[in-house]
Amino acid sequence: MFSPNNDGFDDFTQLHCRFPTIENRVLIQIFNKEGQFVKTVVNNSIVAANATFTWDGTNELHALVPPDLYIVRLQYWLANGKTNVLKASVGVVYRQ
């Protein structure tokens, strides 16, 4: 869970990824719990075996999303063309 209210505490979430090879193409998208698209965090980026990405709690229009659970969908392609999809969830809350 994180609180993107710009108070300097837990304002974003980091997505730490470990891949089986040293060259991978990555797509990370955020969806709400109803499955509606919210934001693309990274699209078709080439990354090494370890990478970290950040989501700041905003949507494609750079507006803060409402507090709720969100689905992080990571798709990556290995150099040999094999594709994998992973999903995780993250909670957005607003602390005062």
Question: Which pLDDT value is given to residue 61?
Answer: 97
Provide the pLDDT for residue 29.
98
pLDDT at position 96, please?
67
2 occurs within a structural domain: no
Q: What is the pLDDT of residues 43-96, one digit of tens each?
A: 999 999 999 999 999 999 999 999 999 999 999 998 888 999 999 999 999 876
User: What is the bridge-based pairing of β-strands 83-92 and 68-78?
Assistant: antiparallel
Among the listed residues 35, 17, 32, the one whose alpha carbon sits nearest the alpha carbon of residue 84: 17
What domain count does the chain have?
Answer: 1
Q: What is the CATH number of the domain that holds 50?
A: 2.60.40.4070
CB 76 within 8 A of CB 83: yes
pTM of the model: 0.90
- Give residue 51's domain range: 13-92
Q: Is residue 33 part of a domain?
A: yes
Query: Is residue 48 included in any domain, yes or no?
Result: yes
